[in-house]
Chain A
Amino acid sequence: MIPLKGRELWLGYAFLAAGVLAIVVPFLFILATSLKYEIAIMQGRVIFEPTLYNYNDVLFGRRSNFVRNITNSLIVAGASTLIVLTVGTLAAYSLSRLRWARWISGAFLGWTMLFNTIPVLTVVGPWYLMFQQAGLYDTLLGLVLTHVAINLPMTVWLMMTFFGDIPAELEEAARVDGAGQAQAFRRVILPLVVPGLIAAGVLAFVFSWNEFTVALNLTSRGTATVPVGIANFAEQYEVQNGNMAAASVLSTIPALILMIFGQRFVVQGLTMGAVK
Chain B
Amino acid sequence: MSFPSEISSGAAPAAVPPRRHRREPSGDRWFRWATLLPAVIVLVVLTVWPVANLLRMAVSTIEFTRDGASFAFTPAENLRRLAGDDLFFINLRTTVIFVVVSVILEMVLGFLLALMVSGVPRGKGLVRTLMILPILVPPVAIGSMWKLVYNHDFGILNQALGVVGLGPVGWLSNPDLALWSVVLVDVWHWTPFVFLILFAGIEGLPREVIEAARVDGATTWQIVRRIVLPLMAPAIAVAFIFRAILAFKVFDQIFLLTSGGPGTATEVVSLRLYRVFFDQNELGYGALLSVVIILAVVAFLLTAGALARRVGR
Which residues of B lie under 8 Å from residue A212 when comparing CB positions?
138-140, 251-252, 255
- Give the distance in Å from the alpha carbon of A255 to the alpha carbon of B297 in the complex: 31
- Give the distance in Å from the alpha carbon of A91 to the alpha carbon of B192 in the complex: 31
Picked from B139, B149, B207, the residue with its CB within 8 Å of the CB of A1 is B207
Within 8 A of B (CB), among A218-270: 226-227, 230-231, 233-234, 239, 241, 244-245, 247-249, 251-252, 254-256, 258-259, 263, 266-267, 269-270
Picked from A4, A266, A275, the residue with its CB within 8 Å of the CB of B204 is A275
Decide if A139 is an interface residue (CB 8 Å cutoff): no
Decide if B108 is an interface residue (CB 8 Å cutoff): no
Decide if A33 is an interface residue (CB 8 Å cutoff): yes
Decide if B177 is an interface residue (CB 8 Å cutoff): no
The count of residues in chain A whose C-beta lies closer than 8 Å to any C-beta of chain B is: 125
Which residues of B lie under 8 Å from residue A263 when comparing CB positions?
128-129, 132
Which residues of A lie under 8 Å from residue B245 when comparing CB positions?
116-117
Q: Are A274 and B127 interface neighbours, CB within 8 A?
A: no
Q: Are B1 and A158 interface neighbours, CB within 8 A?
A: yes
- Give the distance in Å from the alpha carbon of A104 to the alpha carbon of B149 in the complex: 49
Give A94-130 as 1s and 0s: 1 = Cβ < 8 Å from B's Cβ atoms.
1111111110011011111111111111111111111
- Give the distance in Å from the alpha carbon of A158 to the alpha carbon of B62 in the complex: 39
Give A5-42 as 1s and 0s: 1 = Cβ < 8 Å from B's Cβ atoms.
00011011101100110111111011001000000011
Which residues of A lie under 8 Å from residue B153 when comparing CB positions?
42, 44
- Give the distance in Å from the alpha carbon of A18 to the alpha carbon of B204 in the complex: 24
Distance of B253 from chain A, by nearest CB (Å) = 9
Q: Are A26 and B54 interface neighbours, CB within 8 A?
A: no
Q: Are A227 and B223 interface neighbours, CB within 8 A?
A: no
Q: Are B35 and A2 interface neighbours, CB within 8 A?
A: no
Q: Are A87 and B120 interface neighbours, CB within 8 A?
A: no
Decide if A90 is an interface residue (CB 8 Å cutoff): yes
Which residues of A lie under 8 Å from residue B68 when comparing CB positions?
132-133
CB-nearest residue of chain A to B6: A109
**Given contacts A20-B130, A130-B53, A269-B1, A99 and B138 within 8 Å (CB-CB):** no
Give B115-126 as 1s and 0s: 1 = Cβ < 8 Å from A's Cβ atoms.
111111101001
Decide if B265 is an interface residue (CB 8 Å cutoff): no
CB-nearest residue of chain A to B125: A263
- Give the distance in Å from the alpha carbon of A275 to the alpha carbon of B40 in the complex: 29
Which residues of A lie under 8 Å from residue B3 when comparing CB positions?
157, 273
Which residues of B lie under 8 Å from residue A149 when comparing CB positions?
42-43, 46-47
Which residues of A lie under 8 Å from residue B298 when comparing CB positions?
114
Picked from B42, B143, B239, the residue with its CB within 8 Å of the CB of A152 is B42
- Give the distance in Å from the alpha carbon of A244 to the alpha carbon of B115 in the complex: 37
**Given contacts A16-B123, A158-B2, A203-B1, A231 and B220 within 8 Å (CB-CB):** no
Decide if B179 is an interface residue (CB 8 Å cutoff): no
Which residues of B lie under 8 Å from residue A30 when comparing CB positions?
141, 144-145, 148-149
Distance of B292 from chain A, by nearest CB (Å) = 10
Distance of B256 from chain A, by nearest CB (Å) = 6
Which residues of A lie under 8 Å from residue B42 when comparing CB positions?
87, 148-149, 152
Which residues of B lie under 8 Å from residue A276 when comparing CB positions?
2, 5
Picked from B117, B118, B283, the residue with its CB within 8 Å of the CB of A125 is B283
Decide if B73 is an interface residue (CB 8 Å cutoff): no
- Give the distance in Å from the alpha carbon of A8 to the alpha carbon of B221 in the complex: 11
Q: Are A98 and B35 interface neighbours, CB within 8 A?
A: yes
Q: Are B38 and A227 interface neighbours, CB within 8 A?
A: no
- Give the distance in Å from the alpha carbon of A224 to the alpha carbon of B151 in the complex: 27
Q: Are A41 and B154 interface neighbours, CB within 8 A?
A: yes
Distance of A215 from chain B, by nearest CB (Å) = 10
- Give the distance in Å from the alpha carbon of A226 to the alpha carbon of B139 in the complex: 11
Decide if A88 is an interface residue (CB 8 Å cutoff): yes
Within 8 A of A (CB), among B5-60: 5-7, 12-19, 24, 27-28, 31-32, 34-36, 38-40, 42-43, 46-51, 53-54, 57
Within 8 A of B (CB), among A49-97: 86-88, 90-91, 93-97
Picked from B38, B248, B270, B273, the residue with its CB within 8 Å of the CB of A91 is B38
Q: Are B116 and A12 interface neighbours, CB within 8 A?
A: yes
Within 8 A of B (CB), among A169-213: 180-182, 185, 203, 206, 209-210, 212-213
Decide if B202 is an interface residue (CB 8 Å cutoff): yes
- Give the distance in Å from the alpha carbon of A26 to the alpha carbon of B151 in the complex: 12
Decide if B290 is an interface residue (CB 8 Å cutoff): yes
- Give the distance in Å from the alpha carbon of A182 to the alpha carbon of B31 in the complex: 6
Q: Are B28 and A274 interface neighbours, CB within 8 A?
A: no
Which residues of B lie under 8 Å from residue A146 when comparing CB positions?
46
Decide if B136 is an interface residue (CB 8 Å cutoff): yes
| 7 nearest A-B pairs in the assembled complex, by CB-CB distance | A273-B2, A91-B39, A126-B50, A44-B154, A255-B136, A122-B290, A4-B119
- 16 residue pairs bridging A and B, Cβ less than 8 Å apart: A26-B145, A90-B36, A97-B14, A98-B36, A122-B293, A125-B277, A125-B283, A126-B51, A133-B68, A181-B32, A217-B277, A230-B138, A259-B132, A267-B128, A271-B200, A275-B200
